[in-house]
Amino acid sequence: MSNFVWCHGPSCHKSHTQDRIRGVKGSKVLRTKKVPVTEYHRNTMYSYFCSQGCYNDFANKYVREVIAIAPRTEALETPIEVVKEQARDWSGRDYMETRILTVDTNGG
């Protein structure tokens, strides 16, 4: 059972860092980094990428394919109620506060 995945960054193996160097003198390579599988990173992008940079490289390269999974063809809307209330700041001055309340549309 492996406890790592290879970083999915398309250029991970091209970054000039010492921790990517593998091989012996005369046949050295820069290798894709291993990403440890941990409970802490489960279901986050850090389960698949060694860094924010590698994640951005992947997202920029495959953005069309990713968007095709769940394309947005129309705007979404969240029902709200706008409430204006008199409030007082830390120094005792009164001001009008605008609060945006989400309206429960599920009847619960």
Contacts with Zn ion by CB under 5 A lie at: 7, 9, 12, 33, 50, 54
Q: Which is nearer to Zn ion, 21 or 101 (CB)?
A: 21
Report the alpha-carbon distance of residue 102 to residue 80 in Å, rounded: 4
Q: Which is nearer to Zn ion, 17 or 101 (CB)?
A: 17
Q: Which is nearer to Zn ion, 59 or 83 (CB)?
A: 59
How far is the C-alpha of 82 from the C-alpha of 67, rounded, in Å? Answer: 32
Q: Give least dist CB 55 to Zn ion, A.
A: 8
Match 């005792």 to its residue by tokens. Answer: 92
Q: How far apart are CA 32 and CA 38, in angstroms?
A: 19
Shortest gap between Cβ of 28 and Zn ion (angstroms)?
18
Min dist. Cβ of residue 108 to Zn ion (A): 44
| Triad 35, 70, 54: Cα angle to 5° | 25
